[in-house]
Amino acid sequence: MLFAIMRPKLLRAVVALLVIALAPAIPPARAQQGGAELSVIGQPIWHDTDDSIDLRLRIANASSEPLEGYSLSLIAHGRTTSRSALRDSFSSPPAFTTSAYQPELPEEPIPPGESMSVVIDDPLTRLSSLATAVDGGVYPVTVALFDADGDQLDAVTTPFIVYPTTPDTALNLVLVAPLNAVPSRG
């Protein structure tokens, strides 16, 4: 009876020991700087092909170590053709990259618990696929934050609405129909 009780405990102890011994170690840079968060705090409603990117980001350091040597990468994807494809691009960015580049950032570290706002004001031509787009539409752009070792800390995808040519002037007429009122005359 005692052997039957000890045997499962011994087996669990051996399995736990093997898991601990064979588990890969987490790199210290990733563990120290894994608390970084990237968020979009502003961008234009739409872009013309000769506009600047004008993307405002916040990088927050929630770790206990200063965030040093970080970099950003802007990755443009192909034009989305439906709302569901656009919605899906926010949760998992498309695998196909049409163009990418790394903007210059200030080299100041972000202290623990602090955040920094960054404005990417480079011309849209830095993302060549958007600057040479023939079809107007919504193009998901992923912004990825990397640490000094090149490990990705966070990423966010945002829609860029690109009009290669200025839209025609709309009619100066707006149809308004109240949806919550009883139809009436006059």
- Residue 77: its pLDDT value, please? 92
Average pLDDT estimate for 134-144: 90
Confidence of residue 153 (pLDDT cuts 50, 70, 90): very high
Contacts with 183 (C-beta within 8 Å, 6 or more apart), sequence order: none
Q: Name the residue with higher pLDDT: 78 or 34.
A: 78
Provide the 3-class DSSP secondary structure of residue 139: strand
pLDDT in tens, 79-99: 988 888 888 888 887 778 888
Confidence of residue 8 (pLDDT cuts 50, 70, 90): very low
> Considering all CA atoms of the chain, what is the largest pairwise distance in Å, rounded to the nearest integer?
92
Q: Which of 101, 185, 81, 83 is nearest to 141 (CA)?
A: 101
- How much of the chain exceeds pLDDT 70, in percent? 72
Q: Which of 109, 114, 27 is nearest to 62 (CA)?
A: 114
What are the φ/ψ torsions at residue 126 (nearest 5 degrees)?
-65, -30
Calpha distance 93→126 (Å, rounded)? 20
Provide the 3-class DSSP secondary structure of residue 39: strand
What are the φ/ψ torsions at residue 21 (nearest 5 degrees)?
-70, -35
Paired with 52 in beta bridges are 123
Residues 120, 55 contacting (CB under 8 angstroms): yes
The DSSP H or E segment spanning 41 is strand 36-42
- Residue 34: its pLDDT value, please? 57
User: Above 50 in pLDDT, residue 5?
Assistant: no
User: Above 60 in pLDDT, residue 135?
Assistant: yes
Average pLDDT estimate for 136-157: 92
Question: How many whole angstroms from its chain centre is CA 183?
Answer: 46
- Residue 133: its pLDDT value, please? 84
Calpha distance 89→68 (Å, rounded)? 29
Global model pTM greater than 0.85: no
Q: Which of 11, 20, 34, 37 is nearest to 143 (CA)?
A: 37
